[in-house]
Structure 1
């Protein structure tokens, strides 16, 4: 029987996939080109080149697959089912003005356009009491509208479902029965604040099938029983099963891993206050470490709020492989 002695860390970026192998006192690093159409292929290729595919006792994986899918708007075709009257919450938002004096300010378009946002007739009060029972016919119409529009993944976010998930459970079950990938807010983020909760569950729906598909293939390619841990946005790790189900937790997976590593190196070098700058081929991540790694539940990625715990990182969709160009007005653009 082959001894499983190697601990392997893998970081999948948009351009390169990097490996660190710790095997006893031996530390090795390796790099291969990423395979964006199927990220697991680059991981398996690198593990084979290193000769550790059958010698690992654990694999820890950080990824920018979800990050880049949002920044480059290359997620799946997603839809939203919500309570009647709340179809436009993604566009109404909080009415904040982060660039108050910018005369040419533009807002990020929602990841789910209005024609793929549908309503069901139901209403709960703030304590979860039923004010308007869930209308079964409206659920059937909503699910059929999703199917007819070619949606692959559906976010379900009903008003006050965190207090009583019964209506949302029924809508989610109907959508799953129709063969759709479903992200329900009572499973992803069961808490108040409708705009942020809706945005978070839409992000989960937008990247969920991508993460689910490639992590499933990766698990199949790895030895049976091998612990596979996925870095999540708060700097900790979760199981592959959780990452497949709650993909929004990995939106800053790779960037968070970089900050955790930088904090360790800075601390070992005697620095408690550092700025981390992590430029990959596709995106760039910056974070401030002031004695400890900062965390927030008011994060954003690509202009889209997320309430899941994240390391406080600022990410932009420009990296070493981005193309610089001039627009029609002569202004320099990158990416």
Structure 2
């Protein structure tokens, strides 16, 4: 049976296939090519199996599909997650907006606050003390009213984060049960998502989970359906911490670094046979560049900030710079500038033959540092042309 290992990046999707005879083959596809296919990963699998775009994948052909994806990362960066309701203890409705009042750039005159992920917030009458004892009982009627109002407004995702809820989850659990009764599709509660002290980071992590999990669920369902909904095919996704999880357990809070984390693991496993255990990884993609360090064990962060959002979940310690092969070149204010805007995969750099802007990749092609022969003919409007050297 076939096995597929997929890295779905912002610009390219790389697939390694293990054929039934044990041989390996690799192919590369543009992550976005709406005229040709809806999803690069599924299209790539079909191409290996010599199937047409609308052909269903026969059952019994694929043993497993293991994937690292930037679906959650892109949704967070572009703020394209699901509309989310935040339920929080009365008096703390603006807590996540205020945050820790940190000023990374102390003398910045034009302070840009990050966009909040939740669409609505409702304060719930309830209160626990620092030991988890009930000070104010839960007002279930108020909670149900807030949930019902948001549900009527079209919100289907709810994040529940109460003060000291990690010590005594009874109030959060009861509100979650009410949300389920009211028909919410995604319910994230802080004592399950991040059962630790500090309401700000616990609340932010819970909101991220509620905001992104529906996106992931739809993507997982799409891939699973394309695979024929096959019960005999194991579908797994890379998590931010470097481990694989079953697709049904893939959560928003664990998906932010799904793609880059796979690069760290791949770097270490590639270097091991050669006897190297002190490594610096440099992973330059189309939209960003990731740098990591390894000195005998994986370095992980348990609290970090991604795209202006505080997260508390175990993830690989990776430094990301918003500059890659697709970074657009500008001439602004009398000087040359690279990025941070990226051409992505659609339209992509100018050499992709889709009318894109001048990018770092184009410069490397013109200078001969990138050889068109090393790239598959997947460019142009019909996805069948090589890189354009005569740009």
Normalising to structure 2: TM-score of the pair? Answer: 0.76
Question: Aligned to 1:20, which of 11, 16, 22?
Answer: 16
Q: 1:127 is matched with which residue?
A: 131
Report which of the two structures shows the higher radius of gyration computed on alpha carbons: 2
Choose 306-315 or 316-325, whichever is displaced more.
Answer: 316-325
Within 5 Å, give how 1:129-148 maps onto structure 2: 129-148=133-152
Choose 171-180 or 66-75, whichever is displaced more.
Answer: 171-180
Q: 1:204 is matched with which residue?
A: 209
User: Gaps (5+ residues) in structure 2?
Assistant: 51-56, 342-391
In 2 relative to 1, CA 150–58 (structure 1 residues): closer, same or farther, beyond 3 Å? same
In 2 relative to 1, CA 7–242 (structure 1 residues): closer, same or farther, beyond 3 Å? same
Contact 1:75–1:210 (8 Å) recurs in 2: yes
Contact 2:329–2:336 (8 Å) recurs in 1: no
Higher RCO structure, 1 or 2 (CA under 8 Å, sep 6+): 1
Q: 1:279 is matched with which residue?
A: 284
Q: Secondary structure at the match of 1:323?
A: strand
Contact 1:11–1:61 (8 Å) recurs in 2: yes
Q: For residues 20 and 241 of structure 1, what CA distance do their matches in structure 2 show?
A: 23
For residue 154 of structure 1, report the CA deviation from its aligned partner: 1.6
Q: For residues 40 and 121 of structure 1, what CA distance do their matches in structure 2 show?
A: 46
C-alpha distance after superposition, 1:221-251 (max 9, x if no partner): 32322121111111011111110xx221111
C-alpha distance after superposition, 1:131-172 (max 9, x if no partner): 111112210232134235432322111112222222112222
Tell whether 2:255 aligns with 1:257: no
Q: Secondary structure at the match of 1:212?
A: helix
Q: 2:100 is matched with which residue?
A: 94
For residue 36 of structure 1, report the CA deviation from its aligned partner: 8.8
For residue 262 of structure 1, report the CA deviation from its aligned partner: 1.4
Tell whether 2:70 aligns with 1:60: no
Q: Secondary structure at the match of 1:276?
A: strand
Contact 1:18–1:32 (8 Å) recurs in 2: yes
* Number of equivalenced pairs: 326
Q: For residues 331 and 138 of structure 1, what CA distance do their matches in structure 2 show?
A: 56
Contact 1:14–1:36 (8 Å) recurs in 2: no
Q: For residues 145 and 157 of structure 1, what CA distance do their matches in structure 2 show?
A: 19
Question: Aligned to 1:69, which of 57, 75, 78?
Answer: 75
C-alpha distance after superposition, 1:109-141 (max 9, x if no partner): 32225xx11111011223322211111221023
Aligned-pair Cα RMSD in Å? 2.6
Q: Secondary structure at the match of 1:210?
A: helix
Contact 2:63–2:232 (8 Å) recurs in 1: no
Question: Aligned to 1:176, which of 180, 184, 196?
Answer: 180
Contact 1:72–1:317 (8 Å) recurs in 2: no
Q: Secondary structure at the match of 2:224?
A: helix
Contact 2:160–2:188 (8 Å) recurs in 1: yes
Q: Secondary structure at the match of 1:254?
A: helix
